[in-house]
Amino acid sequence: MEKFNVTPEELFDLAAKIGGKLLLALAVLIIGLIVIKLMTKGIVKVMKRTNLDATLVPFLKSIFNIILKVLLVISVMGMVGIQMTSFIALIGAAGLALGLALQGTLQNFAGGVMILIFKPFKVGDYIEAQGHAGSVKEIQIFNTVLATPDNSLVIIPNSPLSTNSMKNYSAMETRRIDFSFGIGYGDDIDKSKALLMKLAQGNELVLKDPAAMVVVEALADSSVNLKLRVWVKSPDYWNLFFGMTEDVKKAFDKDEISIPYPQQDVHLIK
């Protein structure tokens, strides 16, 4: 059996050579990560200054960050002495395996691309999807982040967002609000309708075109239900909704128009 005679000096030189490469590679890696972080921040500032669509900023930021980090890792591995041809072949094989294992993640990436291309919603829109509702805060490469009205964050994968139904409340400039108010059977219908129309026409948030309308919606068990239908600019929806509800209650009380609650008449037979 052949013996290898290695002197301590040769071992020390070899360790110093390898150790020097590792230390240099580690230093390049740390400095590179810092530089990538600064470059990413700089690119985001440039994109915002050029008035780029706010929807694209976080998506492009994520892709740019990932590409730079992959290039940095490849460079560091080359400094250590790893043969890049073998490494690339290994990455190809591993990529195939990962692609099969991470089908859902790749679908989310594809969903993000589809959202950016077809733009069913954008950053700032108020949407309802997958059982959640909120304002779109970010569209990332794999997920979309919503901020709910109570200031919670909801993270929804992009794949179901791009393939399933979704309701965008901010897509149209105007929206319609249907109010339903019940009055007693003994109250004057014409008087009640005129009062509702007066409140609608006197509210500055209600649009003149299309015009407001008041109709009898139903003769319910305990009340006559009147429907007030008005149009409003989308950003003013909730202000008008809450304000009009309060105004109608005060006006009905002032004019002695009852708002009945469910009740039953019981007849006792002796």
Task: Please check the confidence at residue 74 and state whether its pLDDT lies above 90.
Answer: no
Q: How far apart are CA 123 and CA 145, in angstroms?
A: 9
CATH number of 14-101: 1.10.287.1260
CATH number of 174-254: 3.30.70.100
Q: Are 58 and 112 in contact (CB under 8 A)?
A: no
CA angle 51-52-58, nearest 5°?
125
Residues forming CATH 1.10.287.1260 domain(s) in the chain: 14-101
Q: What global pTM score does this model have?
A: 0.61
The residue-averaged pLDDT of 45-58 equals 72
CA 21 to chain centre: 45
Amino acid letter, 62: S
pLDDT in tens, 177-190: 999 999 999 999 99
Q: Are 61 and 116 in contact (CB under 8 A)?
A: no
Task: Please check the confidence at residue 170 and state whether its pLDDT lies above 80.
Answer: yes
pLDDT band at 77 (very low <50, low <70, confident <90, very high): confident
Considering the chain, what is the average pLDDT of its residues?
84
Residues forming CATH 2.30.30.60 domain(s) in the chain: 111-168
Span of 35-44, 90-99, 142-151 with lowest mean pLDDT: 90-99
* Class of residue 95 by CB neighbours under 10 A (exposed 0-12, middle 13-18, buried 19+): exposed
pLDDT in tens, 194-240: 999 999 999 999 999 999 999 999 998 889 999 999 999 999 999 99
Tokens of 87: 């490494």
Q: Which of 194, 263, 265, 254 is nearest to 226 (CA)?
A: 194
The residue-averaged pLDDT of 55-73 equals 78
SS3 150: coil
User: 6-32: string of b/e by CB count within 10 Å (b at 16+)?
Assistant: eeeeeeeeeeeeeeeeeeebeeebeeb
* Topology classification of domain 111-168: SH3 type barrels. (2.30.30)
Q: What are phi and psi of 130, to 5 degrees?
A: 55, 35
Task: Please check the confidence at residue 98 and state whether its pLDDT lies above 60.
Answer: no
